[in-house]
Amino acid sequence: MYSLEINFLKDREIRPVAAGAGRAAAPVGDRTPLYLGLAAAIAALGLVGGYFAFLQYQIQQLTARNQQLDADVAALTAQLADIETTQQQIELVRLENEAFANVFNEIRPWSALLQELRDRTPARVQITTVNQTAGTTPTDDPEAEPLPAGGLSITGVACSFNDINDFMLTLKQSPLLDSTTVLISQAEKREELLDPEVDGACPGSPPNTPDFLVDFTIDANLTTTPATQLLEVLDRQGAVGLATRIRALRDSGVIEGQ
């Protein structure tokens, strides 16, 4: 076989390479956007840093405020404790004053009671003894506590049963006694006639007419009305000292009363 060889290099024109020939460098563009982006990033970082610093400042302020509030709460708690202690002391004094006032309100001076009985005793009735009792409790409540004011047991003689009834009705009108408890607990006619020459005669009886005396006992509870509402009665029956003290206590506000 035959081979054909052709040399093209001999026919190529050799051209000199021009200076600066080759890949052209990329032209330098405008860097303003780069600077703007960098400035925006720096500004954003500055804002974040400033906001963080502001938050830290706010946290410090709130922490200080919280500590101040805690101190205020502690001070108020101490003041409330002092106020509660003072209120307890005031309540104790009030209770003591109330107990003191109750003592005066429950006092029933015997001088006033005896004078009240003398004023209300009819002419045909004579009282022999007056005893203080614990008072009578309601029959429907046997477990009731004893009355603080107590009661009286009046023993005497009368010219008749009617005179005893009149005396009982008169005692029911006394402001120093509980009218609902004034009762005749015992009445018994004596067997012996009253001798006018020795014992005298009952007032209002016909001359030379002997009478049978009647022994009786009347029980009554003292009134539970406060003494502050009985000042006029106490004055009238001679208990001026007690009435004066009660008025002084009432005027000073220690006790209440009309």
Q: Give the CATH number for residue 161.
A: 3.30.980
Tallying the residues shown for the chain, one arrives at 258
Joined tokens for residue 224 = 């539970």
Average pLDDT over residues 89-97: 85
99 part of a folded domain = no
What is the enclosing helix (H) or strand (E) of 220?
Answer: strand 212-221
In a domain, 45, yes or no: no
Does 129 fall in a domain?
Answer: yes
Query: How many angstroms separate the Cα of 73 from the Cα of each of 58, 123, 159, 180?
Result: 22, 79, 83, 60
Spatial distance between the Cα atoms of 41 and 222, rounded to a whole number of angstroms = 101
Confidence band for 185, pLDDT divided at 50, 70 and 90: very high
CA distance 53 to 66: 20
- Does position 149 have pLDDT exceeding 90, yes or no? no
Evaluate whether residue 143 is within a structural domain. yes
Whole-number Å distance between alpha carbons of 68 and 75: 10
Averaged pLDDT for residues 59-79: 89
At 139 the pLDDT is: 59
Question: What is the structure's pLDDT at 187?
Answer: 94
Torsion 207-213-219-222 (CA) sign:
positive
Q: What is the pLDDT, as a whole number, of residue 26?
A: 47
Which comes out higher in pLDDT, residue 230 or 141? 230
How is the beta sheet containing 125-133 ordered, strand by strand?
125-133, 151-158, 212-221, 183-193
Rg (CA), the chain: 58
pLDDT value for 242:
80
What are the tens digits of pLDDT across the range 159-175?
899 999 999 999 999 99
pLDDT in tens, 20-34: 444 555 455 577 877
Domain that holds residue 207: 110-222
State how many domains the chain has: 1
- Enter the pTM of the model: 0.60
- Structure confidence at residue 141 (pLDDT): 59
Residues 119-124: what's their mean pLDDT? 92
Q: Establish if 144 belongs to a structural domain.
A: yes
Distance, C-alpha 50 to centroid of its chain = 59
Which three-class secondary structure state does DSSP give residue 133? strand
- The 10s digit of each residue's pLDDT in 199-257 is 677 887 777 777 788 999 999 999 888 887 888 888 888 888 888 888 887 787 777 65
Closest CA to 123 of 170, 155, 190, 174: 170
